[in-house]
Each structure stands twice: as C-alpha cells, then as structure tokens.
Amino acid sequence: MRAVKLTLAGLLLGAGPTAMAKEPVDLIIHDGQVLTVDAAFSVRSAIAVRNGRVVATGAEDLLDRYSAARVIDLHGRTLMPGFIDTHLHPIPIGPSDVNPLIAHSIVEIQDMVRKKAAELGPGKWITGYGWQEAALAEKRNLTRADLDAAAPNNPVLLVRAGAHSAAGNSLALKLAGVTRDTPDPKGGLIEHDAAGEPSGIIRERQDIVERFIPPPTWAEMKAPMIRTLQGFLALGITSFHDASGKIDDEPVGQGGIAPASPGEEVASGEMTFHRAQALYAEMGDQLPRVTLYISYPGPQRLKAFPHHTGFGDDRVRIGAIGENLVDGGFTGPTAWLLVDYKGQPGFRGKGRYTDAELQDMVDTANRLGWQLGLHCIGDAAIVQTINAYAHSLETIPDPAHAADDRRWFTDHFTIMPPDATMATMARDHIWIAQQPNFLYNLENRYAATLDDWRLEHNNPIATPAHKFGIFMAFGSDNLPVGPLVGLYAAITRKGPSGAVHGADEAVGVAEAIRMYTANGAYLSREEAIKGTLEPGKLADMIVLPFDPLTAQPQAFLNGHVDMTFVGGKLVYTHP
C-alpha cells in the first residue's frame, strides 16, 4: 500500500499544466495589451470569456488553464472595455431625409436636396440632420436662399449638427407662418438678413416649423434605427445613454398619451422605452446596450408611470430624467452665459425656465425616485441647475439612496461656472456627463462667441475633476459620435486648427479611457456588471490597432476600431 501511495504522489507531482484538464470557455483573446481598467488600471495580455462574461484575465499562461472553441490572436493590438457614451441621440435617416452630415459644401447639400425633391415630388417635405458650417467649403450657415435654389417647390428644413438650430427655405417658413414680423419664440431666435427678412435660420425653437412636418411611422423608421445603432458598434460603443427617450407610447393612465385617432402611432419614429424593449428582445446582442433618459413629461404623467430610474435589465434600462434643456447650446448659439457673448453687447443667450419652474420639475422627479440629468451648457444655466439640485437634495429625502449617492449629474457642463458652484457640486456629489469632443468640433463657434477665459476653459475636465473632485463620465452628443475624437480632445485640448485651448484642463490617457468606460457604467449604477474587464463582468470589449497608452495623440484622431464584442460575441469587424 505504501508503494502505491508513493507512486500516485509521484504522478501528481510530475503532472504539469498541460497534463491537467483545461477549463472550457467560449473565447480566449491573447498576445496583446489587455487594458482591464480596473482600480489599478492593470494591463494583461490574455482574457477568457464564458457565457458572455469575463472568466479571467492574465498572462499567456491563461491558454494553459483554459480551452476555447475560438481563440483570437491580437498580434500586439489592444483589447479594452467597450466605450460607454453617456449622451447620444440615435438619428436614423428616414424616407424624407437627406444626409448633410457627409457634405463638404453647400453646393453638395443643394445637390442632395435637388435629388430628393425629384424623388419625392413637389410639395413633399425634405428634411435632414447634421450640417455644420465649419465642415463646408463656404464656411457659412445655410440660408433660405440656398435651399430655395435647390427645391423651390418643396418645404425644406435641415437641422444643424447638435440640433440647436435649423435652416428652412421660403416654403417651409411660409407653411409655419414665419415672416419678418414674427416675434422670437420663447427660448429661441429667428435670424434675419440685412433686409429684415427671415434668413432661414431658427435657433433653438425650430419646432415652430417641425410641427408642420408629417412624422414618419415607427414601421418606416425601425430598420433605419437598427442600422444607426449598429453603426455605433463600428465606433466601439457597446453601451450608450439615449438622451432623447420618451414614454409617450405607454398606456394612457400609465404615463402615456392618447393617439390623435384610433390606430395612429404616438411619437412616430422616435425611440421610446416600450419600443426599445421590443427592439432589443428581437435583436439580442446585435445592438449596443442602452440606458434611456426620459424626457420630463410633466408631473401628472410622471406620477402615473409605474417605473423610474434603474428599471429594466442589462440590455435596456431606464436612466435619468433628461436631457430637458435648461438653456440652449453653441450650435445655436443661445447657451446662457453670465457675461455677454463676444462682440454681441447685451446678448447672453437664453434660459428656458424660471427658477420656480425648474425647481418644480427637479422636486417632482426627486420625490418619485428619479435620477436627474438636465442639459446645461452655459455657466448661468449651470448655476441655476445646481441651485435647484442642491435645494432639492437638501430638502427631500430619498429612502432608496444615501444623500451622497443619488448620482445626479449636469449634462454637458460646457462653460465652467464659478468656484462656489463647483464647491456645491462636490459637497452634494453632483456629477458631470461631459462631451470633450465639443472642444474639437465647435472650436470655431467658441472662438467667435467666448471671451478668452471661457474659450480656454470650455468643456473643462481637470479643474472640476482634480481641483474639486467632481465625478465625470464622457459622451459625445453626436458631435461627432466617435469616442476616439473625444479622447483626442481630452488629452490634447486641440481643435482642428491645431490650437491648444486650456492645456491645464487636459487629462492623461488612462484617466480619459476610464471616463469613457468604467465611469459611464457607474453613472447608470451598473458598475458591478460592466465598464471594466474583470471576472464576472460582461465581456463588452473592443480591439484597437494601436496601444492608446503609448501611441501619439494623432493615432486617436486618425484611428479606428478593429473589433467590437457585446457579451463576448463579435458584432463588428473592421473591413
């Protein structure tokens, strides 16, 4: 018996890893840089995935411990968590739309409009989103005359990138009753030319024209919406916060509204919580995960809605009340400042709410257990919003969350407010959903409208995060969608001109990556399941063809994503 025991012991001692059974997993990725973005920002070289979640990360000997039906060799590339964009608007291209986002000149836009007019026939509306004067050869806004020349017999309304202004032609303005004598709508501006006639540009309140446009149906927009969401995967976005979510199509009496007539859809082609649930049930892991902001529908409808922030699952969940606009934006521009716009004495932009109106909205949402994420771009709007938040946080208890864990945030935070306001944010744990790419995309608007100090500190990161300790997560707000542009702006503070604006507001690459991954998960209370590549978390991952920790900044601006995985499934491969 003693001899048998010694023989068995000798066999066990001599057994190496290759002689032992390997643990089966679904996927192993190795031979590269694996950025876990854990608390220590650990860098590994391999990862194992099973049932959509990370099993282990480590060195190359991970292949000795696990076996997988699929093994991917990175060949030195970088694997990291997928980007979490905390502010996006899915904008699919509908049947009446042109796509001015890809145009390089007004002439190109006119050609698009002309062809669409021929396709649709006289009298049909022509719409579209995404033009921006800085990208056009003419370096100016579209005008009524430009659009009249392309489609004199069709009403046309093209929304500028950022959605804070739009250009309409004469027929569109006529249908909307906009003349030289039309007063500015509340919160908006109608621009006029030298002769006093409407120029075609309406800032912030293009809805006075949009309400005359027959909306497309969800049946028409479902397939374009799927294509738009899948386009986010190509940019490495595995989760996003839809900042334009609604509950309009919920049942009447449960937060929804009645259709205009039997059988008619509510909210047309827009994304709603109900539609998102159905869409994701059908498409599974073929789409990025979504957290829907819910546009404040008023106190009675919000009270009737049976859910609030956090309801849902890891595919579709409800987020904050937002992004209801406290002011405008610089794509108008009508962001609300504490000082006059440069070269525009007496003009400081516009706020949307009285103090009492804003406080009522915040308090109502707070009492019903909602997270808040309101749009405030100018420093005056930020001051007003923080005052409302602070008062509500201090006077209305939330039994579900500690006073320092409500996770309310300001959406945008473009113009840095006074130190006292940021001190209040730090005290009350009010966070920021920031868009660092704004600095890059809107450089010309900031240079034209802001004094030197506000230009240098536009879309600040380091001061609120480092000096005041304010938590920050990144997103894009479609300007542009690609997170790599946002990372470039965050670490360089450079605009397209090459000028550096406020170098002291830059952050390092690792911190910027964390703000675009782990911090986004924290904003939606999902830090336990995603945002980092740690065991047990969802295997939402991307592959970059360069090492972001060592590459030159230009690699971000010119770079792309090689692969995107959602729940361990490969959903995008770069051509």
**What pLDDT, on the 0 to 100 scale, is given for residue 145?**
94
Of residues 387 and 401, the one with the higher pLDDT is 387
pLDDT classification of 546: cutoffs 50, 70, 90: very high
Amino acid at 375: H
The count of C-alpha atoms lying within 13 angstroms of the C-alpha of 90, restricted to the half-sphere facing its C-beta, is 33
**What pLDDT, on the 0 to 100 scale, is given for residue 19?**
53
pLDDT score of 473 more than 70: yes
**What pLDDT, on the 0 to 100 scale, is given for residue 132?**
87
Model confidence pLDDT, tens digit, residues 60-76: 999 999 999 999 999 99
Euclidean distance between CA atoms 50 and 28, whole angstroms = 9
Rounded to 5 degrees, φ, ψ at 561 are -105, 130
Task: Specify whether the CB–CB gap between 338 and 384 falls below 8 A.
Answer: no
pLDDT score of 282 more than 60: yes
SS (HEC) of 115-156: HHHHHHCCCCCEEEEEECHHHCCCCCCCCHHHHHHHCCCCCE
CATH superfamily of 323-507: Metal-dependent hydrolases (3.20.20.140)
Q: What are 450-454's contacts with CB under 8 Å, separation 24+?
A: 450/341, 450/342, 450/415, 451/339, 451/342, 454/337, 454/339, 454/379, 454/415, 454/416
High-pLDDT (> 90) share of the chain, %: 83
- CA-nearest of 536, 560, 544, 547 to 56 is 536
pLDDT score of 368 more than 50: yes
Which 3 state secondary structure label does DSSP give 489?
Answer: helix
Model confidence pLDDT, tens digit, residues 100-116: 989 999 999 999 999 99
pLDDT score of 15 more than 80: no
Looking up tokens 């259709």 gives: 259
- CA-nearest of 252, 164, 250, 159 to 213 is 159
Euclidean distance between CA atoms 278 and 404, whole angstroms = 35
**What pLDDT, on the 0 to 100 scale, is given for residue 277?**
93
**What pLDDT, on the 0 to 100 scale, is given for residue 16?**
46
pLDDT mean over 306-323: 96
Which 3 state secondary structure label does DSSP give 338?
Answer: coil
Q: What is the dihedral of CA 283, 287, 289, 293, to 10 degrees?
A: -90
How buried is 195 (Cβ within 10 angstroms: 0-12 exposed, 13-18 middle, 19+ buried)? exposed
pLDDT mean over 432-451: 95
Model confidence pLDDT, tens digit, residues 491-541: 999 999 999 999 999 999 999 999 999 999 999 999 999 999 999 999 999
How buried is 253 (Cβ within 10 angstroms: 0-12 exposed, 13-18 middle, 19+ buried)? exposed
Encoding tokens for residue 494?
């450079």
Model confidence pLDDT, tens digit, residues 39-53: 999 999 999 999 999
Q: Residue 17: count other Cβ atoms within 10 Å of its Cβ.
A: 10
Beta bridge partners of 411: 375, 433
Q: Residue 153: count other Cβ atoms within 10 Å of its Cβ.
A: 11
pLDDT classification of 163: cutoffs 50, 70, 90: confident
**What pLDDT, on the 0 to 100 scale, is given for residue 162?**
80
**What pLDDT, on the 0 to 100 scale, is given for residue 334?**
87
Encoding tokens for residue 525?
């209370």
**H or E element, residue 471:** none
| Cα 485–chain centre separation | 13
**What pLDDT, on the 0 to 100 scale, is given for residue 81?**
98
Task: Specify whether the CB–CB gap between 463 and 423 falls below 8 A.
Answer: no
Name the CATH topology of 96-210: Diaminopimelate Epimerase; Chain A, domain 1 (3.10.310)
**What pLDDT, on the 0 to 100 scale, is given for residue 478?**
92
Of residues 186 and 438, the one with the higher pLDDT is 438
Q: Residue 10: count other Cβ atoms within 10 Å of its Cβ.
A: 10
Model confidence pLDDT, tens digit, residues 195-205: 999 999 999 89
Which DSSP string do the residues of 210-264 spell out, in sequence order?
HTTSPPPPHHHHHHHHHHHHHHHHHTTEEEEEETT-B-TTSPBTTTB---SSTTP
How buried is 276 (Cβ within 10 angstroms: 0-12 exposed, 13-18 middle, 19+ buried)? buried
**What pLDDT, on the 0 to 100 scale, is given for residue 268?**
64
SS (HEC) of 50-76: ECCEEEEEECCCHHHHEEEEEEEECCC
Euclidean distance between CA atoms 494 and 553, whole angstroms = 10
Rounded to 5 degrees, φ, ψ at 566 are -120, 120
pLDDT-wise least confident of 49-53, 248-252, 458-462: 248-252
Of residues 414 and 265, the one with the higher pLDDT is 414
**What pLDDT, on the 0 to 100 scale, is given for residue 178?**
94
Encoding tokens for residue 252?
């009447």
* Residue ranges, CATH 3.10.310.70, the chain: 96-210
Of residues 332 and 38, the one with the higher pLDDT is 38
Which DSSP string do the residues of 257-320 spell out, in sequence order?
---SSTTPPSSTTS-BHHHHHHHHHHHGGGS-EEEEEE----HHHHHHSS--TT-B-SSEEEEE
pLDDT classification of 263: cutoffs 50, 70, 90: low
Euclidean distance between CA atoms 355 and 386, whole angstroms = 11
pLDDT classification of 3: cutoffs 50, 70, 90: very low
Mean pLDDT taken over the chain: 92
pLDDT classification of 322: cutoffs 50, 70, 90: very high
**What pLDDT, on the 0 to 100 scale, is given for residue 397?**
87
Euclidean distance between CA atoms 538 and 52, whole angstroms = 6
pLDDT classification of 130: cutoffs 50, 70, 90: confident
pLDDT score of 5 more than 50: no
pLDDT score of 139 more than 60: yes
pLDDT mean over 457-466: 98
High-pLDDT (> 70) share of the chain, %: 95
**What pLDDT, on the 0 to 100 scale, is given for residue 261?**
57
pLDDT score of 440 more than 90: yes
**What pLDDT, on the 0 to 100 scale, is given for residue 267?**
55
**What pLDDT, on the 0 to 100 scale, is given for residue 260?**
58
* Residue ranges, CATH 3.20.20.140, the chain: 323-507
- CA-nearest of 571, 551, 568 to 52 is 568
